[in-house]
């Protein structure tokens, strides 16, 4: 019985060590995603998203809320920087129900767009069509 408990604890400790290093690697992989969005580099964003999906089995909606670019989400950053290609791709890749949920500041994307006067943005139009 004691042998089983020791083995279980050893396995649990080892999995925590590996899980911690895996999270650090995901963070490293996503480190420059804000720069990619601000530069409107759709090809590089696709490559980054594909690499994260194949290496860590994570899709955009799995890590979207964990990324902040100067306090803003990726889609808000794209709208502010007029990164139409990247912003449109992000809106298309996100599930529509998640596009309607409030972000870190408690405002939905639609409310934030209206409040900041970005209604004429092509990204805002794409967002309206998805919702």
Query: Tokens 């911690």, residue?
Result: 20
Predicted local confidence at residue 88, as pLDDT: 93
Predicted local confidence at residue 25, as pLDDT: 76
CB 12 within 8 A of CB 47: no
Tens of pLDDT along the chain (131 residues)? 545 434 443 444 444 444 444 455 777 777 788 898 899 999 999 998 898 888 888 888 888 888 888 888 889 999 999 999 999 999 998 888 888 888 888 888 898 999 989 888 998 888 888 88
Predicted local confidence at residue 79, as pLDDT: 92
32-130: CATH topology is 1.25.40
Q: Give the tokens for residue 97.
A: 């129900």
Question: Alpha helices, DSSP H only, in 94-121?
Answer: 96-99, 109-116
Burial profile 48-86: b = 16 or more Cβ within 10 angstroms, e = fewer: bbeebeeebeeebeebbeebebeebbbbbbbbbbebbeb
Domain boundaries, the chain: 1-28, 32-130
């Amino acid at each position: 019985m004691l042998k089983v408990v020791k083995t279980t604890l050893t396995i649990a400790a080892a999995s925590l060590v590996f899980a911690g290093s895996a999270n650090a690697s995901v963070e490293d992989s996503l480190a420059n995603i804000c720069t990619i969005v601000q530069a409107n580099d759709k090809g590089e964003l696709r490559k980054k998203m594909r690499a994260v999906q194949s290496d860590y089995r994570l899709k955009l909606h799995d890590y979207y809320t964990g990324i902040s670019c100067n306090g803003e989400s990726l889609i808000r950053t794209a709208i502010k920087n007029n990164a139409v290609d990247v912003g449109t791709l992000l809106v298309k890749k996100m599930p529509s129900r998640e596009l309607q949920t409030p972000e870190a500041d408690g405002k939905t994307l639609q409310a934030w767009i209206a409040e900041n006067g970005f209604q004429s943005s092509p990204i805002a139009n794409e967002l309206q069509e998805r919702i």
